Structures are given as C-alpha cells and as structure tokens.
Amino acid sequence: MKNHQTELTENEELCDLYRKKAEELVSQMTIEELADQTLNSAPPIERLNIKGYDWWNEGLHGVARAGTATVLPQAIGLAAAFDEDLMEQVADAVSTEGRAKFNMQQKYGDVGRYKGLTFWAPNINIFRDPRWGRGHETYGEDPYLTARLGIRYIKGLQGHDAHYLKSAACVKHFAVHSGPEGLRHSFNAEVTKKDLYETYLSAFHACIKEAKPEAVMGAYNRVNGEPCCGSKTLLTDILRNEWHFKGHVVSDCFALRDFYQHHMVTKDAVESAALAMNNGCDLNCGHMYLHLSEAVSRGMVSESRLRAAVTNLYTTRLKLGMEQDKELPDNPYDKIPYSVVDSVEMREFNESVSEKTFVLLKNNGILPLNREKLRTIAVIGPNADSRRALVGNYEGTASRYITISEGIQDYVGDSVRVLVSEGCDLYKENWKKNRIAEVREMAEMSDVVILCLGLDAGIEGEQGDAGNDFASGDKPDLKLPGEQNQILEAALDSGKPVVVLLLSGSALAVNTAQERAAAVMQCWYPGTQGGRAAARILFGEVSPQGHLPVTFYKSTEELPEFTDYSMKNRTYRYMKQEALYPFGYGLTYTSFSYDNMECGAGRQTFQKMKAGEKIQLPVSVRVCNTGNFDCAETVQVYVKALCDGSPNPQLKGFGKVFLKAGEEKQVTVWLSEEAFELYDENGQIYFTDEGYTVYIGGSQPDTRSRTLTGTIPLRQNLWSEVVNNT
C-alpha cells in the first residue's frame, strides 16, 4: 500500500531534524511551562506562539467522542476478519475523518478534548480471559494475530507521507493488563518472564519494531510489584533500552494518583509524579504532573529529564505538522475537507467491513434464507432493535444506525411480514416487561425466528463506563445474562427453525444454542451499518467469512481464577480441554479444499535460524472453492514445536484469498524465524532441536475444529529428521 519512496516513520534523518527543532523550542520554556506541557490538556504558551493542545483523543474503531463520525465494527469484530489489508484500510478511514474533523475544528479555534490528532489506539492487550469487560477493545487472545493487525492499524493511522504523520497512534495498555476491572487501580499482576515475553509483551514488541507508533500508554495495574506507568523494568529497561522506542509514553488516565492512593508505592503526589517521570512516563493524562515543578525544585526530578520528556512530546507535534516549518513542504493532510466525514463512501465502506466480521458458528442448512419462501419472520430479543449493541465502546456518533430488525425489514420490504419483540431485558431478571408470551406467539406465527441475544457495552466494558452492578464491567460468568436463556428456550420449543445472532464483544457459553438452534452466528458489535450487513448475510447476498479471534469455552468452571495471570490452561495456545467453538473457527456458505502443500526447508534453513539469521520460509498450498458461493477464505498456518512443555500449535501466518465458486488458487504464506521461536523460563529465545510441525488449512488443527468443520489441515514435519541425523 506504500505509494511513497519513503515514509516519515522510516526517515531517520527527518525524524532527527524534528527532534532537533523540538529541542530548540523546548529550550526556551521555563520549568513551570515545561511542567504544564506534560499534562494531556497542555495550555498555550503565547510568548512562543504555541497553541493549547489536548492529547486525549480516541480512535479505536472510528473517531470517538467528538461528534459525528463513521462508527465501524468494534475492534474484536475487526479482528474476526483476519485481514491485515482491511485493518489498514479501516485505520486509514479513521485518520481521514480525524484529520477532516481536526481541520474543521482548527478553523473555528476549537481545541478541546477529543479534538486532536493523537489517537490513543489501538488496544493490543491480550484477551486472556473471556470475563474481562474491555476485551472487545482488543484483537483477541493470540499475540501473533494481535501484532499483525495492530501493525497495520498503526500504519493506517499514521499514514505513508514522507514528511508528516497523518495522525499519531498509541499502543496500549503497557503491559500485562486484562482485568479484573474492579481491581485495576490496586492490582499486582504477577507473571513469569516466560509468560511476559511469550504472551504479554509480544504484540507490543512487534508493533514498536515494525510500525513505530508515536506513543505507548501505560496500564493501571502493577506488574511484579511495579506500577506500570512508573515501572523502570517496563518503561526504561524494556521499552527504551531493549526495544529502542523513540516516541513518547503517556499514563493511563489518572493512573499516577493510584501510586500513593491504592498501590501504596509512594507517600504523596509529588513522589508519584517523580517516580513516573524518572522512569520514563512523558505525558500525564490527569493532573499529577502539576507537581513536577516542586519535584524539580526539591531535586527529585532533574531539569534535563523534564526537558527530554517535553522534547519527546513536541517531536510528535512537529511530525503532525502542528507547527509550520518553512523548510518543509505543505502538509497534504491539511487539505482533507470535512465533507468526507460520514459521507456516502464512508457508509458504504462501513457496511462492507461489517460483512467481513460475522462468524458463522453453526448452520444446519437453514442459512442463507430464501426470501421467496418466507411469509413471516420473527425478529426477537433485547438486541433485535438495539443501537447500543451495534457500536461497542469508545464510539463516535453516527447520523444513522441500522439495527438488526431494521436491516431485515428494509431488506425484505413489504413482501414478508416481520414481527419484532424485545422479548426480555438485556440483563435484568424478573423484569416487569417480560414478554415470554409474546415470544411464544410470534414464534408460532412465523416461518423462522431470528433471535438476537448477547450483551452490549453497557454491561461489558471499562470500569466506570459499563453500567452493570455486579462486576465493574467484567462478566461474572459466560452465561447469557438475565432472562435471555428463557426466551431462547421458548423460541426453540416452538418447533420453528431458530437462527441465533449473538451481539457481544466476548465469548458466551451458548451450549443450548449449539445443541438445538438451526444456526448460530457471532455478530460482535458490528458498527452502525450492522443491521444492513446482517440482512445481506442472512439472505445470501454475501457469505459470512469471519473466524474467531477468541476461544468460546463451554463454562466458566473450565477457567483458572480471573486474577491468575499465568497462561497455564488459558487460550487455545495452552488449554487442554475441548472448546465449544475454537479460536480460528468459522463456517461459510461454501466449502474449500486444500492440497499440494509445499514447505521446502532443509538443514541450511534451520542452521541459519539457529545462528540468529533472518529467514523467510514459504508455505504454499492449493485452495479450491468446492461449493456454490463466491467467498473469501482465511488460510491459517500453525506451528507446533515438537518438544516437551511447548505451547499447542500456534497461529504464525494467515492470508485471505477470494475465490469464486469452482475457482482454485495457489496461496503462499511466509513464515519468519519468529514463527519458530520458543521462550525459556528467563524469557530468552531458543529453537528446539526436536523439530516442528507446520499445519495449513482453514482452522487450527485441534480435534474440536476438525469435528465442527469436517476437515483436517494439511501438515508437514520440519527439521526433526535433519537435526536427529546431524
């Protein structure tokens, strides 16, 4: 997608020029002015012609909290598309609207919060436990998938101009953050070095190395005793010294006050500000850095460290073109007009993205529906006509929301009668407006029941944002909340075919639906065009093509304690039991066959890898669409190290290929040496002499995926005989 001979993030000479200019500007600031500039709401410095700027802006799946914007599917849904190119296109759309809105706001002198270009996205934490309320902000449970999608989202946000950033990306929350939400301000996540490097830091490292995001945000919690936003281990030893990160670090919002109020690692606000600043946190989302002037005067923070922090911040502002420089060409992003926001093209793009995120989990042949054979459809459930279930959290404001029931009604028109009922409340039990009788009657009257169940961001999300009373945004278990299971049973007992649509940002244990429903489809929070996309899929205009970026477990009882951050028995990489629906799983309306696997890798390749050299290993396969629907297939490559104690087969490569019915193509997925890396107990990389097995197919090679799909990925052993015969 690069159309330029270079891009700013790769132009070290220009980056050095920006830093030099930032140093010159910062050298003119007083200590008090410097301290003020380390706050997210940085005030203007009129004598230096510096405008005020608020660094706090959100762009997880669209420009958020800043008025009208395109609201795309939530991040977890985007991950289900398993599509790197699509992820960059999404981020490019977000940054286009972000620039357009910024240009408009600057025109009228509007510089408040959520009106800038420094987007605190993407969230690349690992969704290690399905109870975590913020998991739908992430790209799922797998470090490799998270890394690849995060890299492309960053590139889409920051753009490919040779002189300017389109916007600035920020990877968060560094690190080891994935609930519980109710304990996050005081919690100490204890992790081994093996889990730290093998799982929790992996995506951060890849994103910083390959995509060069401008910012990293710390997490609320402690890791092995150190608060993340003031952690020498994380921010200095690993991020700066080991990974050579050159951008700026920002605290999570109001996290620094937790140092002395909840973590109890400092005695007051001044000590807290000093700890964070000295260990590498440049920007405070909050007010604690108001105490930096005192910290400097008391010798707790050096003036040089404070100037270095502000230099980091102003380097980003210069890269964004906020301070015009006569030595550089005009900023092309300044010309993006407001008319692109919420345009027809953006709405069409949004719908096309949404269609790629739906994951078909079960289908007994009922889908796709034939409109010509239907007279009455019942669309039932608390998410049937819910706008909130379309958008997830950290969302913008759309000009129109197409709910599931609206999308179906618009699609069938007057030719089919559509009956709609909320059925029950989303999560309240013994609700006075319970409509079980209405559910039964509508099901009896209808040819098919579309049952819209699940969650919304009001009951799963960030502490303080989610409105549930029982878990501060987290889920207490994996069951359908409230009386949803009752209306599911009522619909199933009608004897009519029931299609269950799950709108949620996380896995639910829908065992009854799997056993008895005609079809089950995971729709996530599909964006404001989600109802239209759902209708097109239900009626076969397009085939579902998504795959699960998380494991769906059978029950909460299978999970370790929520507060246990060991990866043992967590996610598909380490679990021993069989899943309800496995990571990587997803059905379509067609079928695909795989053959002609080629993976040429001899002794020389293995020895190069062990010697520390870079490799690019092609894994090739012929894929044929053997069904009757045109559809995209996600080709997945998994690697299993053939030694004791290694993880289950892990995703290490994937690619999308669109095939018309009957069409076949040879697809190649490239594996680097990182696909074969293992970590010892000290977090050090090694390669096993026992060899590896490489799998390629439309799913992971676990037994449950084989049962559900009826297919077995192809496999090839690498290097075991070569090594053993050496």
How many whole angstroms separate alpha carbon 470 and alpha carbon 504? 18
Q: Which residues of 488-503 are buried (b: 16+ CB within 10 A; e: fewer)?
A: bebbbebebbbbbbbb
Q: How many CB atoms lie within 10 A of CB 686?
A: 13
State the CB neighbour count (10 A cutoff) for residue 684.
11
CA separation for the pair 592, 543 (Å, rounded) = 13
Q: What is the SS3 assignment for 639?
A: strand
Question: Tokens 């007994």 belong to which residue?
Answer: 364
Q: What span, in angstroms and rounded, lies between the C-alpha atoms of 158 and 118?
A: 10
Q: What is the DSSP string of 125-184?
A: -----TT-GGGGGS--S-HHHHHHHHHHHHHHHH---SS--SSB-EEEEESS----GGGT
Other Cβ atoms closer than 10 A to 719: 24
Pairing of strands 226-227, 222-223: antiparallel
Q: Rounded to an integer, what distance in angstroms lies between the CA atom of residue 362 and that of residue 364?
A: 7
Are the CB atoms for 389 and 505 separated by under 8 Å? no
Token pair of 327 as six digits: 């030595």
110 has catalytic annotation: no
Given the residues 92, 129, 252, 282, select the one marked as catalytic: 252
Q: Give yes or no for a contact between 371 and 412, defined as CB atoms under 8 angstroms apart.
A: yes
At residue 502, the 3 state secondary structure works out as strand
Phi, psi at residue 67, to the nearest 5°?
Answer: 90, -155
- Of 402, 482, 486, the C-alpha closest to 438 is 486
Amino acid at 586: G
- Which residues are designated catalytic? 252
